[in-house]
Chains A and B, each alone.
Chain A
Amino acid sequence: QQQVKQSPQSLIVQKGGISIINCAYENTAFDYFPWYQQFPGKGPALLIAIRPDVSEKKEGRFTISFNKSAKQFSLHIMDSQPGDSATYFCAANPPSGAGGTSYGKLTFGQGTILTVHP
C-alpha cells in the first residue's frame, strides 16, 4: 500500500496555541517526508521536510517529529498565528522503481484545514 493517512481533517486553535497534525504511512520504503502549506486559491508550497535518519527537524515555529518504528510523523506549529490558517498536507516520496529513481512523485495525505482564531 502506498497510502499516507492524515488527521485531523480540520483543526481550530487559538492564537498562541500549539497546532498538531499527524500522519501515518504503511510503506517502510518511503524515505522523504515533506509538509506542504496551501492558502486558499493558491498551489501548495513546501513548508518543511524530513528524512527518516533523524527524529526531529525544526524550522522557526514549525517542527516535524518522526517515529520510524511507528511509521508516523507529525507537524507541530508553536505559537500558532492567524496567518498560519491554511490547509496542510503531509506527503511521502515513494520508493525507487526498477529504474532506481522515484522521479520525485509524492503520495499526499488527505489534508488538514487549520484555522487559528485571533
Chain B
Amino acid sequence: NAGVTQTPKFRILKIGQSMTLQCTQDMNHNYMYWYRQDPGMGLKLIYYSVGAGITDKGEVPNGYNVSRSTTEDFPLRLELAAPSQTSVYFCASSYLQGYAEAFFGQGTRLTVV
C-alpha cells in the first residue's frame, strides 16, 4: 500500500518560475491537505480539500493554488516562485473528519534561488 506519494522529492526553482507539486493517495480518503514546514515554525496549512471539486484556503495560501479533479490527486501549484516559498511541503490525507489520523507523504524540499 503506497499511501500518500509526493513528487518530486527535491527541486530548485529560480525566482519567478512556476511549478506543480504532485500528490496522490491510494487510500480513497476524502480529505486532503497541503502543509509547509519551516524550521522552528511547525507545519502551516496552505490549502485543503474535502472531496473532488471542493477546495479551500488554509492559514498561508498566498502564492499557491490547488485543484482536486479526482479523489486521488491534489496538486499544489506555485506561480511566480519567491524565496519566501523555500520550504518543505507535505501533502496529507485523512478519511473521517475530526479525529481521524492524517497520513503524510514524504515531502518535497523546495529551494527558490
- Residues on A close to B: CB < 8 A? 4, 6, 9, 32, 34, 41-46, 49, 51, 89, 93, 101-111
With A44-B90, A103-B31 as contacts: A49 and B41 at CB distance below 8 Å? no
A/B pair count, beta carbons within 8 Å: 64
The one of B42, B97, B107 in contact with A43, judged by C-beta atoms closer than 8 angstroms, is B107
The one of B42, B97, B106 in contact with A103, judged by C-beta atoms closer than 8 angstroms, is B97
- In the complex the two chains form, is A41's CB within 8 Å of B106's CB? yes
Q: How far is the CB of B60 from chain A (nearest CB, A)?
A: 12
With A43-B92, A45-B104, A46-B102 as contacts: A104 and B41 at CB distance below 8 Å? no
Report the bound CA distance from A44 to B43 in whole Å.
10
Q: Is the interface of A mostly helix, strand, loop or mixed?
A: loop
Residues of B within 8 A of A45 (CB): 104
Between-chain CB contacts (< 8 Å), 23 pairs: A4-B42, A6-B42, A32-B98, A32-B99, A42-B106, A43-B105, A43-B107, A46-B101, A46-B102, A89-B42, A104-B33, A104-B94, A104-B102, A105-B45, A105-B48, A106-B45, A106-B102, A107-B45, A108-B42, A108-B44, A109-B42, A110-B41, A111-B42
